[in-house]
Structure 1
Amino acid sequence: MTQASSPARALTGIRVVDFSAMIAGPYCTRWLSDLGADVIKVEPPEGDHMRHRPPLRDGSSTFFGHLNAGKRCMALNLKQAAGLDLARRLVAEADVVVEAFRPGVMAGLGLGAAELRAKHPRLVYCSISGFGQASDWSHRPAYAPVVHAASGFDLALGSDANGRPMSASIPLADMLTAMFAAMSIQTALLHRQATGEGTVIDVNLMDSVLNVMPYEFQNAQQTKQQDRPVYRPMQARDGWVLVTPINQRNFLNLCDALGHPEWRDEPELANEGVRFAHWGMLMARIEDWTRQRDADECERILTAHGVPCAKYRSLREVQQDPQFTQRDSFATVQDAAGSFLTTRLPFAFGNVRPPTGQTAAAFGADTDDILRTELGLDDTQVHQLMSSGAAICHSQDHRRHS
């Protein structure tokens, strides 16, 4: 099987023009690139904001590189007619457009879904937003933390002793939206293969977050609500462990592992229903046991008895664990400052993981080449575009900081 015919590169031959910035849109198109798509990232003259977000090494952001590895990067000034014309010409040769502006911005530029698909009916046009393209909340500014608060997600995480809601520090809404956007684009491409027609996709952060709270969503509809049992961190002598006796078999195994077979017969612990009612008591008993042991010992003993358990590890520890080398979980990416690790797509086809792009392109690194090879422009035309600022190449990067 050749690389192009492998399911791991199933999107080979698909061109994506990516007008998005920040996290959700770029991560979506990074995954499409991993699956074989040719992704052209179009940035404004000031560049994607993520290029300046830490971690930074010699001015290069590995955060940006993680989200954008494998893409070709060019810079256009869409406020200039010549820049807009170049964008339209790129789209004319594209299979997919991804954008993540506020609803209405792309239409105002003449790059909206209706206008582009009228000329290119096979185009798959994906819009990513905070609250959707057409609702009462559509024009509200939205980043992941705002959506976490507005969706009920933060309150579902719990609150402190003063009733202050928890706040998720990881931009989960962006990650989920990237995943759902990539999935919907691939579905739309299958539809196009069958019918010849593209489509318009509306994916947003709010709906994405709501889709990962099935228990909370259903519980909220009940007159008498029951909080989800929380598996809290258990203190060990040298760290923390998580123990999750979810089902009856797990509980029975737990009794054996902790040396308390008599717990099986206690009325407060006999079955799942009564255990939920006495959840705090069960968690306290488990922690009495973990406090007397090192975290590694807790994990070893409980795992050997079939009780789901994990020692709390830092990401630095995870990156160095042989488990992930065995799984081929990480890839090395190169940028102007050197190399760094990134995660690979979390699945394999016939034991073949989709390969991640080896480089994270500098700002405007591919502008010149794309203008010449993809749009067929000559030296004079390219020079004129660069001089006017309608297109920006890597050698002009100083303009963003002047």
Structure 2
Amino acid sequence: MRVLDFTAVMAGPFATRMLADLGADVLKVESLEGDQVRARPPMRDGRSAYFGHLNAGKRSIALNLKAPEAIAIIRELVAEYDILVENFRPGVMQRFGLDYESVAAINPRLIYCSISGYGQTGPKAQNPAYAPVIHAASGFDIVNMRYQDGADRPATGGIFVADVLGGTYAFAAIQTALYQREKTGEGQMIDVSMMEAMVGMLVFETQEAQFPGGNKRPLYTPLKTTDGFVMVAPTSPRNFEQLCDATGHPEWRDDPRFRTNADRNANWPALLGLAEVWTLQHSAAEAERILAEHGVPCAQYRDVPAVLEDPQLQSRAAFKRIEDGSGSFLVTNPPFRMSGARVEVRNLVAGLGEHGADVLRDELRMDAERVATLKATGTLK
């Protein structure tokens, strides 16, 4: 599969990197200035590991898309590619003459995926939106604030859930469209809304908003230990019994507050409070070990450096070391394995426009003189 990747920042690059991880030939189409993430830290000798993580395995061509010759080049490439992914604001690709209707006329088999904050239609379609904006607009931040005791404002954020979720939905929709194309021979347009992706994650909250007034939902709170915190989630009747055994409190089984699942849900804070009396007598690692040995769902809270060294993740090859010219660094592999396919990040982090001349020569059969002219006129980097 060959992919024209017009994406930048995170949601789109996240989707197209997974396509590259599965073996697709992804050609990242950048402006002459390049994807802005190329300049974001952590930087080493002028190269961004953040960019490398999101764009490993892709080739790069840098074009001035305001130049008619650049658009002509893209239209030639479209005829030979299977997938086009873009995450501009709605209308930008149309101004370039590269909207779905225009390119589908060139290649009816093309799968065309657009990722945007609010989708391609509707009253907010033209609004600029990055992940933190979508977190606020979707209800996610307010829901999360209400789950925090005593919070008087939404939490400050730095993890871009909407980008990852939107990119994941785009990746999945592209697979479905490819399967449909195998049956029909026709491509199609995919319109991914990050807003709708976030709202779709709020399953309980969507229903509670329509049918309020029920019992308060049990919340999972960190339990303090002698040196940190542990998460304990005794959600099933069996988990509760295992918790009683692990903590040495069999009498909890006969406590009227905890006899049934409904009783435990109604008295959830009390149950966790008693569990915390026990965890306060242990280190986080010790508490996790004892609870896990008894079958209680649990985990100690860890920071990312500890996660990078996690034996479980290492055994699964969840990280792979790649090079970008400024040294090596670890990036995540896709979180799934396939018995009949190679699924892993490819060790290539392209410099801006690194493959442009090769693409024009090898794929469009341009001679060296024309390629040199395109560079001289500022159409190609």
TM-score by length of 2: 0.97
Residues 50 and 61 in structure 1, CA contact (< 8 A), matched pair in contact too? yes
Deviations 1:223-252 (CA, angstroms, capped at 9, x unpaired) = 314443211111111111111111111011
1:348 is matched with 337
- Aligned counterparts of 1:353 and 1:308: Cα–Cα separation in 2: 32
**Residues 1:379 and 2:368 are matched in the alignment:** yes
Alpha-carbon distance in structure 1 between the residues aligned to 2:270 and 2:340: 44
| TM-aligned CA deviation for residue 168 of structure 1 | 3.8
Please say which of residues 315-324 and 29-38 is displaced more in the overlay.
315-324
Whether contact under 8 Å (1:154, 1:167) holds in the other structure is no
Question: Which residue does the alignment assign to 1:116?
Answer: 103
1:280 shift after superposition: 1.5
**1:400 match:** none
Aligned counterpart, 1:137: 124
Matched, 1:285 2:277: no
Determine whether 1:92 maps to 2:75.
no
Distance in 1 of aligned mates of 2:342 and 2:2: 21
The residue that corresponds to 2:27 in the other structure is 40
Q: Distance in 1 between matches of 2:199 and 2:113?
A: 20
- Work out the CA distance in 1 between the residues paired with 2:119 and 2:344: 32
Describe the SS at the equivalent of 1:287. helix
AA partner of residue 204 (structure 1): S
Tell me how far apart the structure 2 counterparts of residues 225 and 111 of structure 1 sit (CA, whole Å).
51
1:62 pairs with 2:49? yes
Inter-CA distance 252–64: structure 2 relative to 1 (3 Å threshold): same
Distance 2:216 2:186 in 1: 46
| 1:389 paired residue number | 378
Question: 1:66-104, CA deviations, whole angstroms, 9 ceiling, x for partnerless residues?
Answer: 110000011000011111111111112111100111111
Q: 1:190-238: per-residue Cα shift (whole Å, max 9, x none)?
A: 1111100000000010111112221111111113144432111111111
Query: Where does residue 125 of structure 1 map in the other structure?
Result: 112
The question of whether the paired residues in 2 share the 8 Å contact of 1:23 and 1:67 is answered with yes
How many aligned positions are there?
A: 379
1:122/1:173 Cα in 2 relative to 1: closer, same or farther (>3 Å)?
same
Q: Given the two structures, how large is their TM-score scaled by the length of structure 1?
A: 0.92
Match in the other structure for 1:361: 350
* Match in the other structure for 1:20: 7
Give the direction of change, closer, same or farther, for the CA distance of 1:371–1:358 in structure 2 (3 Å limit): same
- RMSD of aligned alpha carbons: 1.3
* Equivalence for 2:136: 149
Aligned partners of 1:154 and 1:168 also within 8 Å: no
Q: 1:58 to 1:226 in 2, by over 3 A?
A: farther
Q: How much does 1:338 deviate?
A: 1.0
Q: Give the aligned partner of residue 89 of structure 2.
A: 102
Q: CA deviation at 1:22?
A: 0.6
Match of 2:59 among 55, 65, 72: 72
Unaligned runs of 5+ in 1: 1-13, 393-402
> Does the alignment pair 1:317 with 2:306?
yes
What residue is the counterpart of 2:241 in the other structure?
Answer: 252
Once the two structures are superposed, residues 31-75 of structure 1 have per-residue CA deviations (whole angstroms, 9 ceiling, x without a partner) of 001111100000001100111111111111111111100000110
One-letter identity of the residue aligned with 2:48: S
How far apart, in 2, do the equivalents of 1:293 and 1:341 lie?
Answer: 33
Instruction: Report if aligned partners of 1:70, 1:359 keep a CA contact under 8 Å in 2.
Output: yes
Tell me the equivalent position of 1:209: 198
Structure 2 gaps, min length 5:
none
Alpha-carbon separation, structure 2, partners of 1:204 and 1:227? 31
Aligned position for 2:322: 333
